[in-house]
Chains A and B, each alone.
Chain A
Amino acid sequence: MSFAINIKELAKKPPKLLPGHRLCAGCAAPVLVKLTLLASEGPTIVVNATGCLEVATTIFPYTSWAVPWIHNAFENAASTASGIDAAIKALRRRGAIKDERVNIIVFAGDGGTYDIGLQALSGAVERGHNFLYILYDNEAYMNTGIQRSGGTPLGAATTTSPAGKVIPGKLQQKKPIADIIVAHKAPYVATVTPAHWVDLMRKVKKALSIEGPKFIHALSPCPRGWRYDSDLSIEIAKLAVDTCYFPLWEYENGVWRLTDRSLVIARNPKLKKPITEFLKVQARFKHLLRPENAYVVKKLQDYIDAMWSDLIKRAGLK
């Protein structure tokens, strides 16, 4: 299936997420939302979990959403989407809805997905509801003040895993959330970043053409929480992929594929950059650059290398 994206044509349309929202300057989340909604056509309902995106875009009396939108609570975006999916099926059955398809798109952060929201997501995927779940992962509970989440990487400093005299940041590796959804045998799972926008739009379009629960793990760099100057969000997303910290792949009915830059790196291993390139531009990792914490960097690098070589094997590349 090929997707033609004419960005100059798409850019003439009015935005579905309007400016005037209160997300931080340089936040990647609204870029992810914009690209996702650009790739979705027809009737769409957005379900948003509590978090940065939800809060900053709907401060009463304002709303930034020019699409139907609901916020329920923190941990239940997937169950809310399940209910909407059921309603649409039932309403269609009794003739109240004529639309062939209604896109249900969930935007939830790592807060509302990895941890408190995992049950709802697992249940919704198991029941096979028809929705696209976009996890915008800024790797900590950013909205409440940068506290660690299951998505925080090893060694990152957060307000509940600070880099102290004894403990050098978070001690656990990032939970492999997309792998968990693959293990549920969801029909489509993919990873994206806002930097690799054509790859993102193609994956969203493909996901929306598939029936059932689809999961897209989107890296969402955060200037405040990751502590870098606001103009670097896209560059940092590129580094995440170039260091294979956040590889770009898709899983569709049992078949793994690397995509975009990650496919290029798999074919040209010399292009893979060391994780220090990613760490040194973010002050949440600056303590890791001290010699006494080199063991943490090694642990992280080894983990990334193991995951990457495993991914290459799964994708059928040598």
Chain B
Amino acid sequence: MSELKGWRELPLGAVPLKFSTEFKTGDWRTFKPVIDEDKCVRCMLCWVYCPEPSILWDGVRISIDYRYCKGCGICARECPVNAIRMVPEG
């Protein structure tokens, strides 16, 4: 948690200070998804269903954004070709 600001430094109207992308929820998980790139058919369903979102698509590959992934397992459950396994967080 960063240093707390005093009231004189805060914006008017309680407008927030940062996007939540600065809050890494990746440390919530106990299991993490691992993608088998050979099996992945780029159907995009894991990307569609990810709640964070912590699945990245760069136009070529699907990858997991482990900074935010909470390990819910939806991607592994929904992948139609079983390309994603949930493995215990090391």
Contacts and interface: CB of A to CB of B under 8 A. Distances in A.
Direct A–B contact present (CB less than 8 angstroms): yes
Contacts of B72: 25-26, 223, 230-231, 233
A277 to B, nearest CB: 17
A126 to B, nearest CB: 31
Interface in A2-31: 7-8, 11-12, 15, 18-31
B65 interface: yes
Interface of A is mostly: loop
Contact of A8 (B22, B44, B53, B74): B44
A234 B78 contact: yes
Contact of A7 (B17, B48, B68, B74): B48
A93 to B, nearest CB: 26
B73 A26 contact: yes
Interface in A21-80: 21-31, 34-35, 57-58, 60-64, 66
Q: Name the interface size band of chain B.
A: 35 or more
A44 to B, nearest CB: 17
Contacts of A22: 23, 25
A229 interface: yes
Contact of B21 (A20, A30, A232): A20
B18 A19 contact: no
Given A7-B44, A11-B47, A19 B77 contact: no
A232 B76 CA distance: 10
Contacts of A57: 20
Interface string B32-68: 0000000000101001111111100111000001011
Given A12-B57, A19-B68, A62 B51 contact: no
A19 B52 contact: yes
A61 B17 contact: yes
A13 B51 CA distance: 16
A66 B77 CA distance: 29
A194 interface: yes
Contacts of B76: 231
A233 B48 CA distance: 13
A23 B52 CA distance: 8
> Which 10 A-B pairs rank lowest in CB-CB distance, beginning with the nearest?
A231-B73, A20-B20, A26-B72, A25-B70, A19-B68, A61-B17, A25-B72, A19-B52, A63-B16, A20-B23
Interface of B: 5, 14, 16-25, 28-29, 42, 44, 47-54, 57-59, 65, 67-68, 70-74, 76-78, 86
11 contacts: A7-B47, A8-B44, A8-B59, A18-B20, A20-B52, A25-B51, A30-B51, A61-B17, A63-B19, A231-B72, A234-B74
